[in-house]
Structure 1
């Protein structure tokens, strides 16, 4: 499965920066849907007031998904890779 990777930087309520990638099937191109996935992830971290637009979340590249990523996408439609401050 090919996935699109969206590089995302969001400022937390404490002022620190969260850096994470949102991975979705490469056929999914709806920015609104991708941003909703990011907001759902942020809610799990108690960060519900943050803005998530194309300014914070930008397409980066397409790659081959691992089995773990494919399972996550099958279950919830997306996968998050936590990079920094998550």
Structure 2
């Protein structure tokens, strides 16, 4: 499965910048839905959207998905790749 990678930066209330990728099927281009996936991820980290500001969520590139990514995409519609300050 080929996927689109959306590079996302979020400023937490304490000023720390989180960086994660939202990975979706390459055909998915609905930016509102992709941002919703980001909000769902943030909620799973106990961060509400009022606690954070999405500085940037932009299409980055297309790549081949790993088995782990495919499984998550089939179950939820997306996969999150944590990069920085996601704890």
Q: Which residue of 2 aligns with 1:33?
A: 33
* 2:53 paired residue among 43, 51, 54: 51
Offset from partner CA, 1:31-71 (integer Å, 9 cap, x none): 0100000000011112211233xx51000000000111000
Please, which runs of 5 or more residues in structure 1 have no aligned partner? none
- Computed over aligned residues only, the root mean square deviation of the Cα atoms, in angstroms, reads 0.9
C-alpha contact 2:12 2:53 (8 A) present in aligned 1: no
Measured in 1, the distance between the counterparts of 2:72 and 2:85 equals: 21
* Segments of 4+ moved more than 4 angstroms: none
Measured in 2, the distance between the counterparts of 1:12 and 1:83 equals: 15
Measured in 1, the distance between the counterparts of 2:72 and 2:40 equals: 14
Give the structure-2-normalised TM-score: 0.92
Q: Which has the higher strand share?
A: 2
Give the structure-1-normalised TM-score: 0.93
How many residue pairs match? The answer is: 84
Q: Name the SS of the counterpart of 1:71 in structure 2.
A: helix
